[in-house]
Amino acid sequence: TSPDLLNYVLYRSTAPTIDPDTEPVFATTTDSTYLDTAPLSGVYYYFIVAQDIHNNKSPVAVAESPNMTPISQCS
């Protein structure tokens, strides 16, 4: 991490690529890990952008995307 890091901006999408200028922000965090506590069934892609105190932003990074199974389909 950089000393001027402000936060991480997280995006969640059903598409494998996004435009962070038009995609709604899913969450922000100052931690280097994040747990999606309300995942939906289906395949979602997660993206991360680091933002510093000067409002500089990193390129979009793709995070690992787990496949979620609805509880109703679990046996």
Q: Quick one: three-class SS letters along 41-67?
A: CEECEEEEEEEECCCCECCCEEECCCE
pTM here is 0.78
Q: Work out the number of other CB atoms within 10 angstroms of the CB of residue 46.
A: 19
Q: How far is CA 6 from the centre of its chain?
A: 16
Residues 6+ apart with CB under 8 A from 19: none
Report pLDDT digits (tens) over 22-37: 999 999 999 988 888 8
How sure is the predictor about 75, in pLDDT bands with cuts at 50, 70 and 90? very low
Give the integer Cα–Cα distance in Å for 33 and 16.
21
